[in-house]
Amino acid sequence: MIEEHSHKSTGLRGVEVADTNICLIEGEKGNLFIRGYDINELARNSTYEEVVYLLLYGNLPSFDQLESFKNAIISNQDLPPQLISHLQKTSKNTPSMSVLQSSLALLAGYNNEIGTGKRESDRNIAIRIIARLPIIVTAWERIRSNKEPIAPNKNLKYASNFLYMLHGSIPTDEEARIFDVTLILHAEHSFNASTFTARVIASTGADLYASISGAIGSLSGMYHGGANHLVYESLMEIKKVSSAEEWVKNRFNEGKRIMGMGHAVYKTTDPRAKILKEMAADLVRRKGGLAQWMYETTNKLVEITQKEFKKRKNRGIYPNVDLYGATVYTSLNIPVELFTPIFTTSRVAGWTAHVLEEKYPETPTVKPVIYRPSAEYVGRYCGPLGCEYQPISQRSTQSAAGELVKRLVTDELTKVFDDHLIPVSLSARHIHLSKADFHKLFGEKAVLTPLNSLTQPKQYACKEVVDLIGPKRAIYGVRILGPFRDETQVEISRSDGYVLGINPPTRQSGDLRDTPGVHIIGPKGAITLDKGVIFAARHIHMSPKDAQRLNVSDRQIVAVQFPGTRAGILDEIMVRIHPDYNLELHLDLDEGNALALNTGEMGSLILDLKEGSYSPFR
C-alpha cells in the first residue's frame, strides 16, 4: 500500500516562487497591501501618480518628489510620429490588446537606455512606458473609430488626460477622481499571471519592453484581464433584472463560469470590489439610466450566484475586482473594448516594479536566476531506444477506415468486410469505477458526467478524471469510463506501468485475479486498491451477425495481420460476441505504436496460423 504521494499544483497555486517587497495579499481576510499601505487608504487618500511612485521607489513621495515625478511622466508622453503612422495603417479589426502589445515592443527602437544593466536607466524606461501606454490606448481607439488622435494635454493629471484624449473634452473633477481610483485599484496585485509572466521574461535578461509586452499578452486572456469585458457581456445577455436567476442557473447547469465572481486568492470579497461597488452606487444615484440598470442587475447576479453556489458546492463565492468595474466604466462613457486596455494602463505600474525587483533584488545576497521549473513526462513511451522513426513518404495521411468510407461513396461498394477486415480501436489508459469508489473520490452527491459516447453501445467517456499514484511516479488526468462496474478496474499500457512502477498481468476485462493495486486520487478523496490494475488483453468485439459472417465463435483465439512498413501479425486475440457489440479490434496504445497504427485503420482476420509464418508482438 502506498503511504506517500505528491501532487503537482494546478496553475502553481500555493507555490511560493520568490520573495517580494511589493505587495501582500491576505486572502482569508480580504486584505491587500501595496508596499505596506492598505489599498483602502490609498484609494481614499492618494492619487495614481503617488501609487506609481510608491511602486517604483518603495516609498510615498514628498511634495517636491511628486511634482518632479509628474513632470517626468509629462515629458515622456509624446509618441514617435512613426508609431502613429503605424497605427493608422493597422487593420481596424485588430484586437486592441494586440495593438497595445505590438506597439510597446516597437517603442524599444526609440530608447537609447536599453541594455545598460543599470537600475536607474531601467527605472527611467519604466516611467517612459507608464507615460506612453495611455497615449497608445486612446490613439488606437480614436483611429479605429475613424477619428484623429488627440495629443496629451500637458496641464492635466494622468487620469484626466486619459479621459481627455479619449473623448476630446476635459472631464469633470468628479469623473477624473473616479477614474483615478480605478487606476489605483488595478495598479498592483502580487504574482498574478501577467506579473509572473513579466518576471519570468525579465529573469532571462530581456529588457523592460519585452517583459511588459509579454505581460500584456498574458493580461489579454479571458480568464485574466479579459474578465471585465465578459462581465459587461454577461449583463447584456441577462437584459433585465428579473432574468438574472434563470441566466445564472443555466450557466451553472452548463458548467460555465460566472465572470466577476470568485478569485484564486481571496476567500471573501475582493477589497477592490467593495470600493468599486461604493463608486458604482454613487454614480447610480447621480446618473441613473443605464448605470442604474447595470448596478441593480449586478447586485442580483451576486445574490443568485452566491445562493446557487452554496446549494451546489456547499461553499461561498464572492465578487472580485472585475464585477462592478463594468458599471463604473460604462458610467464614464468608456467603450467596453477598452476595459482590458485600461486595466493594462493601470497594471503597468505594478509590472515595471516587479521587473525591477526581479532584475535588481533588494537583498544584496540574492542574485537574479532564470526561472526553470521542471515537469514530469507522462507521454508516449516506446522503450529505452525510443519510438521507431518513419520517413514522411511512408506515413499514412488517411486512415484505412477513411479510405474505405471514400470507396463506399465513389465505388458504391456494398461489402467492406468481405476480405475479413477488422477496424482497429486503440485504447488509452482509463478506469472503470464502482459506484462506491466513485462517491469516495468525488463526493456522495456526485454523478458521472458523460463527455462522449464510445463505439460500443452503452459505454461512454466521462468528464471526470482521477490521478494514479504508483510506487515510482504518478499519472495525472486518467479518464473515467461509464457506466459503473461492480468492481473498480484500471487499464493501463506497458509504458504507463513503467512510469507508475508496477507490472500488472495481461488480462481480459473483469479478470482481476492476482493483479496489483494503485493509489487513486479524486477531488474529494482518495482510495487505495489492493488489486485491479491490468494490461488489457487484445480482443475483438463483434455481433452474432458478424461472427456468423466471419465464421468465428465466442472466446475463440484468432490473429490479425497488418500491412505497411511495420507489417506484422498480432496473435492470441480473443473474440467476444454480444448482440450490442460493434465490430472492432481493441489494442493497447503501445501495440498500436509498435505497428504504427491509428484508430480506424484495418487489419485482416486470420483464423488458421501456421507455425513460423508470423512475427507476433507480445
pLDDT for position 275: 96
Ramachandran assignment for 381, one of left (phi > 0), alpha (psi -120 to 50 degrees), beta (any other): beta
pLDDT, averaged across the chain = 87
CB 515 within 8 A of CB 470: no
Residue entry with cell 496489483: 516
pLDDT-derived band at 421, boundaries 50, 70, 90: confident
pTM over 0.75: no
Active site residue 263: yes
Least confident piece of the model among 75-89, 380-394, 543-557: 380-394
Burial (0-12, 13-18, 19+ Cβ within 10 Å), 186:
buried
In the chain, the percentage of residues whose pLDDT exceeds 70 is 91
Cβ-Cβ contacts under 8 Å for 276 (sequence gap 6 or more): 182, 185, 321, 323, 324, 325, 328
Residue entry with cell 505594478: 350
CB 171 within 8 A of CB 182: no
CB 557 within 8 A of CB 572: yes
Beta bridge partners of 499: none
Segment 70-96 shows an average pLDDT of 95
Catalytic residue among 186, 263, 420, 541: 263
Cell of 149: 488622435
pLDDT for position 426: 84
pLDDT-derived band at 192, boundaries 50, 70, 90: very high
Segment 565-588 shows an average pLDDT of 83
Listed by start position, the domains of the chain span: 18-359, 427-536
Is 415 a residue whose pLDDT tops 90?
no
Distance of alpha carbon 461 from alpha carbon 452, whole angstroms = 5
**Higher-confidence position of 7 and 390:** 390
Q: What is the pLDDT of residues 295-321, one digit of tens each?
A: 999 999 999 999 999 998 888 999 999
pLDDT for position 411: 38
pLDDT for position 172: 95
Residue entry with cell 467593495: 274
pLDDT for position 617: 36
Q: Please, what sign has the CA dihedral across residues 101, 107, 111, 114?
A: positive
* CATH node for 18-359: 1.10.580.10
- Phi, psi (rounded to 5 degrees) for 270: -55, 125
pLDDT for position 3: 36
Catalytic residue among 122, 270, 322, 437: 322
Q: What is the pLDDT of residues 398-414, one digit of tens each?
A: 444 344 333 433 333 33
Segment 185-207 shows an average pLDDT of 95
Cell of 113: 537606455
